[in-house]
Amino acid sequence: MSSTYLITGGAGFIGSHLAESLLADGKTVQVIDDLSTGSLQNLQSVLDHPRFTLTVDTIMNRQLMADLIDRADYVCHLAAVVGTRRVLESPINTIHNIVVGTSNVLELASEKGKVVYVASTSEVYGKSRDLPFTEDGDLVLGPTNKGRWSYACSKAIDEYLALAYHWERQLPVVVGRHFNTVGPRQSARYGMVLPRFIEQALAEQPITVYGDGSQRRCFCYVDDVVWAIKRLVTRADNYGKVFNIGACDEITILDLARLVKDKARSSSKIVFVPYDVAYDDNFEDMVRRIPDLRRLQEATGYRPRTGLAEIIDRIMELQMASAA
């Protein structure tokens, strides 16, 4: 019998790719999404699949979630507020939906004895300078009067709660800290840097770099992230652990803008926008984010397979095809 997966936030960027991949593997997939940031367009290729069902609702609906979790073997909890701009604009919603939503998922899954994957973020490392970031390293968050840290703090609480359910109630749960996942279907609407640069370059608009562009990031293709999630959630040896998921090749945001401009053969100017103009005074940035991937590699054999140049080419090709 085919295993059944419930994906919360499954109409989103990562969730829709995970749904497609699981269906291709012969699995049965349930998705719940309130479509606040997810999109039916993301699921266009699977909406009519006989092993796929979509429920448009919120994970705050406990009775509905209890029914969906009861029918699942694995729960992949990806639902969360998306993008720095939404976090800063709606901090109450950010904190409430992340913490209460995850609490609902973990409590209901614990009652049913289901396996849970909790998607976390590299944001939880905060301002730590102990690079590369290791899963057992200290988390160094900024002050509470900077709303930028509300997302990281909420996700850290999710991790504490997930691991508490594992230790106290033996819930089979695994946490993945995602590092700058990118790829097709990622929206520029919520401040995501790569789709924003690509959209601006293709439209011959100014490419807006926040700060001085010296921030360094490692970008990981969504298919590589999906590959890791599928292997982490099915191995009992991984339960009760946290795993970094990402790539290790660093690039500055300024060099990323230059690379996108070059690949798009764009005449766009690169324009620097101070943080206080982009986000008011409510923002602090992380200078570098580099994951230590040894734990993930040892557990799954993981290696990022898609380089940044190829990622940009794929996204551009799809955007140009959809605009034609």
What is the helix (H) or strand (E) element at residue 82, kind and residue range? none
Residue 292 near residue 133, CB atoms below 8 Å? yes
Q: Tell me the three state secondary structure of residue 287.
A: coil
Could you give the 3-state DSSP secondary structure of residue 235? coil
Nearest to residue 262, comparing CAs of 201, 215, 212, 308? 201
Of 31, 29, 33, the C-alpha closest to 4 is 29
In whole angstroms, give the CA distance from residue 21 to residue 288.
31
**DSSP string for 139-180:** PB---TT-TTHHHHHHHHHHHHHHHHHHHHH---EEEEEE--
How deeply is 129 buried, as exposed, middle or buried, from its count of CB atoms within 10 A (0-12, 13-18, 19+)?
exposed
- The catalytic residue positions are 151
